[in-house]
Amino acid sequence: MAALLLATADALAARFGAVTVRGELSGFSRAASGHCYFALKDADGAPALLRCAMFRRAASLVDFAPADGQQVEVRGRLGLYEPRGELNLVVESLQRLGTGTLYEEFLRRRAMLQAQGLFDAARKRPLPPYPRALGIVTSLGAAALHDVLTALARRAPQLRVVVYPSPVQGPEAPAALAQALHTAGLRRSADGTELLLLVRGGGSLEDLWAFNDERVVRAVAASPLPVVCGVGHETDLTLADLAADLRAPTPTAAAELAAPVRDELLAGLQGRADRLRPAVERQLHSRAQRLDAAAARLGRPAQVLAPHLQRLAHQQQRLQRALQSRRERLAEPLPRLAQRLGRALQGELQRHRLGLAAAAARLQAQDPQRVLRRGYAWVESADGRPVVSARALKVGQQVRAVWADGRARAEILHLEPAAGPGPEGDDVPLPPSS
């Protein structure tokens, strides 16, 4: 029996050689080894059935996703599967019917648009790292929309999503897709979108043909928003993918590329906060020490006023004793003189009190804190020395301004010294204005 089967196989190989067969795919499966097995049925419904095997090398060259019911054209060699004595076809190439013409058109359009610079890497824009809102151009009934929304809800639930609906298959799809892309660009300010996803699930070359339409490709290239194109499966490639700023292998991958994971961002922010907190505390401690030192340099007005008050009290006591002594020396029969003297002394005392009050007021007016509370500021250099003249400053110099309720660090950007003598009375020539 084995000899008969072997002879039959040799006769088939010698008689037919390479053959080309058209039919409908049935029972297609792909083994873990990469080999594919399927049957071809007659397209007109006849009961003919031809079993086929396509080994891994030939299967890797197939440029579409084979599925049951597709009309295909295969080329291979007839053989006999000896364990079951079945006629089979070892397939060397598999092509979907009609894809040859479409693929040639795809290549022609690709060459034309590439020559016009629509696919140049230099015009690709980076994606915003932390978008607040993004737009999605796809069909409302597409599974791709569900996949994208699911991925965004998992990764970045805070992200706002705006959907610009459009059919993604059929004769009306190219014009609708181009219009949706145009609308998204016009409404980007009102909608707050910073990024655009153009997505659709997998399919045949005919199913995805809208994304090879020149109108859609030009709309993607002209979009004012960066565009991530996730059309089909990883092996699918459209001209819209080439014109987009970034190509994603699938719609879910497009969502993952567009939105960083919120939990990772929050963890990064927490780490930065933990590193920043000790540095802020050190700065606050340093500023508090410098404030205490500045307060010590200013001194306390009450301490300056205390010796003057003591001298005033002593003079008042001396005056009272002198008045008492003079009064005692004057005789009792001199009441009018005593009255005049008393009035004179009271006037003198009042004059001294007024003078003392004026001196105290002038002294209080010199209190730096009172001056600062009136809206003035104290300017000092970085080493703490007072700046009393604009001529002592330089453009770009760091200074500190001190008010009654706080201080600030500043940088000299422009100098305009006033004409005339400096703070010490010397007439210094003015430098040119910076």
Average pLDDT, the chain: 84
Burial annotation 70-94 (CB, 10 A radius, 16+ → b, else e): bebbbebebbbeeeeeeebbebeeb
pLDDT range class, residue 434, cuts 50, 70, 90: very low
Distances (CA, A) of 323 to 193, 348, 391: 92, 12, 57
Q: d(Cα 173, Cα 186) in Å, to the nearest integer?
A: 20
Helix axes 173-186, 214-222, angle to 10 degrees: 10
- Specify the pTM: 0.46
CB 211 within 8 A of CB 170: no
Map out the domains of the chain as residue ranges. 2-97, 121-263, 368-434
Looking only at the bridges linking them, the beta strands covering 18-30 and 36-41 are antiparallel
Helix (H) or strand (E) holding 368: helix 368-373
Residues 6+ apart with CB under 8 A from 311: none
Strands ordered across the beta sheet of 160-165: 160-165, 133-138, 195-200, 227-231, 246-247
Length of the chain: 434
pLDDT range class, residue 71, cuts 50, 70, 90: confident
CATH topology of domain 121-263: Rossmann fold (3.40.50)
Percent of the chain past pLDDT 70, that is, above it, reads: 87
Q: 371 in helix, strand or coil? A: helix
Residue 79: predicted pLDDT = 82
Q: d(Cα 316, Cα 348) in Å, to the nearest integer?
A: 11
Asked if residue 428 has pLDDT above 50, the reply is no
Q: d(Cα 225, Cα 135) in Å, to the nearest integer?
A: 9
In the chain the first and final C-alpha atoms are separated, in Å, by 107
Burial annotation 406-427 (CB, 10 A radius, 16+ → b, else e): ebeeeeeeebeeeeeeeeeeee
Residue 138: predicted pLDDT = 95
The structure tokens listed for 244 are 């987009």
Give DSSP secondary structure letters for 228-292: EEEESSTT---HHHHHSSEE-SSHHHHHHHHS--HHHHHHHHHHHHHHHHHHHHHHHHHHHHHHH
34-52 tens-digit pLDDT = 999 999 887 666 678 889 9
Look at the block and give the residue holding tokens 């059919």. Answer: 167
Q: What is the dihedral of CA 20, 22, 25, 26, to 10 degrees?
A: -90
383-413 tens-digit pLDDT = 888 888 888 888 888 889 888 788 888 888 8
Nearest to 243 by CA among 271, 211, 274: 211
2-97 has which CATH code? 2.40.50.140
Residues 6+ apart with CB under 8 A from 396: 411, 412
Nearest to 225 by CA among 264, 187, 277: 187
Q: d(Cα 55, Cα 64) in Å, to the nearest integer?
A: 16
CB 41 within 8 A of CB 24: yes
Residue 264: predicted pLDDT = 67
Q: 134 in helix, strand or coil? A: strand
235-274 tens-digit pLDDT = 788 999 999 999 999 999 999 998 887 666 667 677 788 7
What single DSSP character describes residue 386?
Answer: B
CA atoms within 13 A on the CB side of 35: 8
Q: d(Cα 43, Cα 70) in Å, to the nearest integer?
A: 10
Strands ordered across the beta sheet of 406-411: 378-381, 398-403, 406-411
Residue 1: predicted pLDDT = 65
CB 80 within 8 A of CB 5: yes
